[in-house]
Structure 1
Amino acid sequence: MASKIMGYNYSMVAIAPYGEYWREIRKIVLLELLSNRRIEMLRKVRESHVRKAIKRTFDHWSHNKDPISGAVVVETKQWFSRLIINLSIAMLFGEEEVADESQLLKSIRSLLELFAEMPVSDCIPWLRWMDLGGYEKAMRKTAEEMDSAADRWLKEHKTKRNLKSKEEEDFMDAMLSLFDASSNQTHPLGPDNDVIIKSTCLTLLVAATDTSSITLTWALSLLLNNYDELRRIQDEVDTKIGKHSCIEESDTNQLIYLQRNIAFTSTRSTLFTHEAIEDCTINGYHIQKGTRLIPNLAKIHRDPKVWVEPNEFRPERFLTTHKDIDIRGNHFEMIPFGSGRRMCPGITLGLRILHLTLASLIQSFDMKRPSIEPIDMTQSPGLSSPKATPLHVLLTPRLASDLYG
């Protein structure tokens, strides 16, 4: 029901059935947004938004710092969400600041929570008219909110379509160029071109905003509970980059400790429901065509047969016993982005954003917990296991003031 109501009748590429339509849309996404050329073209956009977020935080510190400690309290869970959604919107829609970001973030969170629910009618369809739990009503409300935002962006792009140069085009512009908006062309699933463009852009927006901000929140939470590791990364940043210039995206290739921490943090997740497209046998079990399953990556990534003390925060294991494991789908012990045909196509872009954001924050500010108590690590329900409580952090600038300008 969620895929039908909120996923534009299965048009979103993340949930579309495997076939011609899915292959075509995925190819467009790979060529127009996630190719190496396009990712490099958008590098300045990412760096600009990260520096704006750092500057806003420095300005907040300037006006609100504690006169005794010299620090300011920042709720970084919201900080990450705000940064990532504005950065994603800039890359997808060319809009620098979204006016209703709070409402949009709320709608995205609602969409993902509802996708993780299991309405009774999904198992017993004839009970759908009762809407037990009110899920259908909530799904329709969320779908309307998301579509309203996408529709606004689409109308604006159609109006300004002929006023941009090729270099100024964003992802929605590229999709409009590929599809003749006035045609009645349809695809195997039946959506018209406007639906294809809106559903594809929203898929990318939701995926980027949710996974990136949640991963960054957990990464910082773990570091704040492990000051030695935080200092190790900070020392690495100071040694490799220094304190006299802001980190650029290309600099993060040198930050091995930081990359290993991101790798460890990426173990908290599940994947969308998958479906067997043919009969098969796995470990002696017969899997019938059409069988649906939800890969529990959190369990796979914490398998005691593979990982020693799997629940312990030990990122150094990726420099020693498991140094040869990557997270790009080739080693099944750790597949946070999935694997095979339907693995996340945004892995390269996603890792660049994660590394740049966390490295910039660690370079720019000294960070501490607000109290001696450890950070609460309680998870909320949902596909990507978000942190249940806010993440308040004491921040103090550690660079020269002119670098925050």
Structure 2
Amino acid sequence: MTQQQKAARLTQQQSLAGEAMGTSEGWLLWAALAGSILFYLAVLRRYSSGGKLRPPGPTPLPVIGNLHNLGGVVHHRLADLARIYGPVMSLKLGFVNAVVVSSREAAKEAFTMHDRRLAARLVPDTFRACGFADRSVVFLPSADPHWKAMRGIQGTNVFTPRGLAALRPIRERKVRELLDYFVPRAGEALHIRHAIHTAMINMVSSSFFSMDIADFGSDTAHELRDLVDEIILLISKPNLSDYFPILRPLDLQGLRRLSERRFRRIFSILDDIIAQRLAHTKASLEKHDDFLDALLDVMATGKMEREYVMAMLFEAFVAGGDSIAFSVEWVMAELLRNPRVMIKLRAELKDVLGGKQAVDEADTASLPYLQAVLKESLRMHPPGPLMLPHLAVEDGVEIGGYAVPKGTAVMFNAWAIMRDPAAWDAPDEFRPERFLQRATPFDFRGKETEYIPFGTGRRLCPGAPLVERVLPLVLASLVHAFEWKLPAGMSPEDMDMSERFMTTNTLAVPLKVVPIIAN
């Protein structure tokens, strides 16, 4: 190789090295720029448009956000995350921004200062089928005139002291039918869930329109019950349309289409029930004095349309029957797991009722320990541990010093709030006595945010007055009529108290018991 060729080769190598170094420096520059942008976006994400700091939370992944953080029992997992990130926490659920509230103080601030701004709902796509969400007391925003009218009707025509008192004989009869179911099965090990659920569904349906829908009734009644169960199953499935609203028109999993067919048939059956009642009333002028009569009286004045009556009846089945039934199963499980409490409760019943054969609804007011047992069970096992997500409809919401922008879903972890160590001593222990030691007793209406088994504020469950009457009656009747034992060879320590959450919080393993007729 000549000297000239060597020089040319050296020049070429230097040029290539320079290009390589330029490329390397270019990549370093781009990496630094990308890192700066990501850091800026991460910081920006923590602040709202008003410059307020947003709540902390786990770092979301691309596209799915924090969905991967929610495995297992969701309210337990959210409580675990809150111990890391605090009682006001941000999550990204797909494309949906959410804030989770997990302490008494944060909940108090939210409901005291911002109840109106948080009184809309995040609507699951399944409930949009047949326009149901647009007629639903549960899902309509509180600012909607229809919602205000329907809640007013519930408060003045349905869940009133007079209306509830008129239907007391129905409730007591349904409880006696439940006891009659267990009598021939005394001494047998059986699952009580089905029997209690059937009785509570019938109690709700009989109260609303004087028909049992879960027993040995008509084919129509059976079909209605089956359709309601199918709707609940569809609602319980995770839906891509809820996490990625841009996909909602596609209904990729077909859940809305499946729900629509069932909603259509449910509303057809309910419409027939209404038509039959109207024809019967017109022909005989005879009243049933149930909730349907009250709703039809309102409908006759033009204050409520027929479609809204049907929506209200449907919600009664889904919310009323399930929440009462599973709450009874939970409290029975806690009594069997805590024999000391069961003994003390039986002693109170014997002391107050003496040799009385059946419990009347009025008797439960004289049973303070029974009331405490129920309240403690609902504290530890609320029917809706996450309630239903609220939605911020305005900017200006601030909780715990953090901004909650308009359009954010706000989830109240009632399960965590009612186990908040700042509000409850030994919160994971079943201690009914704690409710006897308060000068001002808790009720089911959520006036104090450390105890919100049925919500609070504008979105308080409208059926809470009914629950206050039914749950004590059912529990007192079961414990008064029977002694309850675990199956042979099983001890309280062996009980599986793990949870499964669908639309209502339930025992993952149904409770198996042995009823023994009390002496």
| TM exceeding 0.5 | yes
Give the match for residue 93 of structure 1: 209
Instruction: Compute the displacement of 1:398 (Å).
Output: 1.3
Give the match for residue 201 of structure 1: 313
Instruction: Compute the displacement of 1:286 (Å).
Output: 1.5
Residues 43-95 of structure 1 show CA distances to partners (whole Å, capped at 9, x for unaligned) of 1111111112212322x23xxx5xxxxx1233211111111111111110112
Tell me, what secondary structure is at the counterpart of 1:168? coil
1:6-405 to structure 2, matched below 5 A, reads: 8-18=132-142, 19-58=144-183, 60-61=184-185, 71-96=187-212, 98=214, 99=217, 104-128=224-248, 131-163=251-283, 168-180=288-300, 193-267=305-379, 268=382, 269-279=385-395, 280-320=397-437, 324-371=441-488, 372-373=490-491, 374-399=494-519
Is the 2:361–2:469 Cα contact (8 Å) retained in structure 1?
A: yes
Is the 2:486–2:513 Cα contact (8 Å) retained in structure 1?
A: yes
In structure 2, give the amino acid aligned to 1:196.
Answer: Y
Is the 1:161–1:173 Cα contact (8 Å) retained in structure 2?
A: no
Is the 1:8–1:195 Cα contact (8 Å) retained in structure 2?
A: no
**Which consecutive residues of structure 1, in runs of 5 or more, have no partner in the other structure?**
66-70, 400-405
Which protein has the larger Cα radius of gyration, Structure 1 or Structure 2? 2
Residues 339-358 of structure 1 show CA distances to partners (whole Å, capped at 9, x for unaligned) of 11221122121111000011
Is the 1:6–1:142 Cα contact (8 Å) retained in structure 2?
A: no
Inter-CA distance 341–196: structure 2 relative to 1 (3 Å threshold)? same
Tell me, what secondary structure is at the counterpart of 1:309? coil
Instruction: Compute the displacement of 1:171 (Å).
Output: 1.6
Tell me, what secondary structure is at the counterpart of 2:231? helix
Is the 2:392–2:406 Cα contact (8 Å) retained in structure 1?
A: yes
Give the length in aligned residue pairs: 382
Residues 349-378 of structure 1 show CA distances to partners (whole Å, capped at 9, x for unaligned) of 111100001100111011101141433222
TM-score, normalised to structure 1, is: 0.86
Question: How many angstroms apart in 1 are the aligned matches of 2:240 and 2:511?
Answer: 34
Give the match for residue 127 of structure 2: 3
Inter-CA distance 213–164: structure 2 relative to 1 (3 Å threshold)? farther
**Which consecutive residues of structure 2, in runs of 5 or more, have no partner in the other structure?**
1-124
Instruction: Compute the displacement of 1:165 (Å).
Output: 5.1
Is the 1:7–1:15 Cα contact (8 Å) retained in structure 2?
A: no
In structure 2, give the amino acid aligned to 1:263.
Answer: K
Percent identity between the aligned chains?
Answer: 28
Inter-CA distance 140–74: structure 2 relative to 1 (3 Å threshold)? same
Question: How many angstroms apart in 1 are the aligned matches of 2:286 and 2:424?
Answer: 49
Question: How many angstroms apart in 2 are the aligned matches of 1:142 and 1:285?
Answer: 42
Inter-CA distance 194–323: structure 2 relative to 1 (3 Å threshold)? closer
Is the 1:45–1:91 Cα contact (8 Å) retained in structure 2?
A: yes
Inter-CA distance 104–259: structure 2 relative to 1 (3 Å threshold)? farther
Question: How many angstroms apart in 2 are the aligned matches of 1:55 and 1:292?
Answer: 46
In structure 2, give the amino acid aligned to 1:127.
Answer: L
Is the 2:295–2:309 Cα contact (8 Å) retained in structure 1?
A: yes
Tell me, what secondary structure is at the counterpart of 2:514? strand
Question: How many angstroms apart in 1 are the aligned matches of 2:461 and 2:433?
Answer: 26
Q: CA RMSD in A?
A: 2.5
Inter-CA distance 122–78: structure 2 relative to 1 (3 Å threshold)? same
Inter-CA distance 102–78: structure 2 relative to 1 (3 Å threshold)? farther
Instruction: Compute the displacement of 1:196 (Å).
Output: 0.9
Question: How many angstroms apart in 1 are the aligned matches of 2:288 and 2:256?
Answer: 40
Inter-CA distance 316–117: structure 2 relative to 1 (3 Å threshold)? same
TM-score, normalised to structure 2, is: 0.68
Question: How many angstroms apart in 2 are the aligned matches of 1:243 and 1:6?
Answer: 53
Residues 200-235 of structure 1 show CA distances to partners (whole Å, capped at 9, x for unaligned) of 111122211011001101010111111111111111
Instruction: Compute the displacement of 1:116 (Å).
Output: 4.8
Give the match for residue 122 of structure 2: none
Tell me, what secondary structure is at the counterpart of 2:189? strand
